[in-house]
Amino acid sequence: MSEFVQLVKADNPGIMTLDGTNTWILRGPDAATSVVVDPGPNDETHLANILAVAGEVELILFTHHHFDHTECIDRLVELTGAPTRAIGEDWCRDADPLVDGELLNVAGLALEIVATPGHTTDSMCILITDDGSLLTGDTILGRGTTVIAHPDGVLGPYLDSLARIRELVLEGVAVRFLPGHGPVVDDPLPFVDFYLEHREERLDQVRAAVAGGASTPQEVVEVVYADVDKILWGAAELSVRAQLDYLNA
Ligand SMILES: [Zn+2]
């Protein structure tokens, strides 16, 4: 995948977490410390696995605030004494909130923060500038598509974020995606194109459902997500609400 990255997968599989949360451990060549990204659930076995790989932790980062990425924050801070950072200030301990474009020199690596609001308002990607790995959190998953977590998640910014990621791929700046759930994406251009096409397709379907008489988010879900397992309809309704807001704006 990348010589600077190791994966410790959490044992929290589920409909929203796929095979579980991907906790990424970043470390430059010969660096004595590491960065932990999205440590995830507050599970002592998972935390022990993280520490076994990470050694001395210099910094903890969160791609966004969702529980499956942040739950262990207090326990991991207790175990490591490391500062934590994210775009959302509630997830920063002993450090400032991150901002778009911020450059971090940490654990022997140069990281760039790329704010990618949409899935949530505080979603971000992390670019390892040394090798072009882009940690995408839940903005782009390793398989399937993500949820626009209305009302925090908003579709317009999400489409802009996908377009921005696509630019990074086209420029050769980002060469692979390391997602918050699911496998590494080694061929990122068709994957981000699939994400953009999927969103356009869903928007067309939502427009058609509304034109056809669906008048509540639930009714739109029943039409547009008829092909999707009902267990996902709650999440689908969040995306539908985000899409209806977008279309009404
Ligand atoms: Zn997640």
Token pair, residue 43, equals: 């599970």
For residue 110, list its beta bridge partners. Answer: 105
- Residue 177, pLDDT > 80, answer yes
Rounded to the nearest whole angstrom, what is the distance from the C-alpha of residue 217 to the centroid of ligand 1? 23
Rounded to the nearest whole angstrom, what is the distance from the C-alpha of residue 13 to the centroid of ligand 1? 10
The tens digit of pLDDT for each residue in 190-236 reads: 999 999 999 999 999 999 999 999 999 999 999 999 988 999 999 99
Rounded to the nearest whole angstrom, what is the distance from the C-alpha of residue 180 to the centroid of ligand 1? 6
Rounded to the nearest whole angstrom, what is the distance from the C-alpha of residue 16 to the centroid of ligand 1? 7
Rounded to the nearest whole angstrom, what is the distance from the C-alpha of residue 61 to the centroid of ligand 1? 14
Rounded to the nearest whole angstrom, what is the distance from the C-alpha of residue 188 to the centroid of ligand 1? 19
Rounded to the nearest whole angstrom, what is the distance from the C-alpha of residue 71 to the centroid of ligand 1? 11
Tell me, what's the pLDDT at 9?
Answer: 98
- Spatial separation of the C-alpha atoms in residues 195 and 150, rounded to whole Å: 18
Kindly report the pTM of this predicted structure: 0.96
Which letter, b or e, does each residue of 164-190 get, where b requires 16 or more Cβ atoms within 10 Å of its Cβ? ebbebbeeeebbbbbbbbbbbbeebee
Confidence category of residue 242, pLDDT binned at 50, 70, 90: very high
Rounded to the nearest whole angstrom, what is the distance from the C-alpha of residue 230 to the centroid of ligand 1? 20
Rounded to the nearest whole angstrom, what is the distance from the C-alpha of residue 38 to the centroid of ligand 1? 9
